[in-house]
Amino acid sequence: MEVDAAKAIGAALAIGLGGLGPGLGIGFIGRGAMEAIGRNPEAAGEIRTVMILAAALAEAVAIYAFVIAIIIAFVV
């Protein structure tokens, strides 16, 4: 019984803490991009491209955390 509780807590911490960083990172990326577009509207296309790439890389970290949480919950 204690092992099941520890697995649930471990999986919850893995996805919770693993999603916190990418969530903050994507927020900062979006804020920075909007500020940059506001200052230089002519470069909106280039800024948007870099913003989407950076958000995708940040989201990959959350996906890794999700995979670790699934492994903890169902395999360990």
Longest dimension (CA), the chain: 60
- What residue type is assigned to position 56 of the chain? A
Residue ranges making up the domain that contains 14: 2-74
Going by C-beta distance under 8 Å and a sequence separation of 6 or more, which residues neighbour residue 15? 65, 66, 68, 69
Instruction: Give the pLDDT confidence score for residue 3 in this predicted structure.
Output: 82
Question: Domain count of the chain?
Answer: 1
Instruction: Give the span between the Cα atoms of 46 and 65, in whole angstroms.
Output: 30
Q: Which residue shows structure tokens 């099941």?
A: 4
Q: Is the pTM of this model over 0.85?
A: no
Instruction: Give the pLDDT confidence score for residue 2 in this predicted structure.
Output: 81
CATH code, domain carrying 66: 1.20.20.10
Instruction: Give the span between the Cα atoms of 67 and 60, in whole angstroms.
Output: 11
Q: What is the mean pLDDT of the chain?
A: 92
DSSP conformation class of 43: G
Q: How does pLDDT run across 1-57, given as a tens digit for each residue?
A: 688 888 999 999 999 999 999 999 999 999 999 999 999 999 999 999 999 999 999
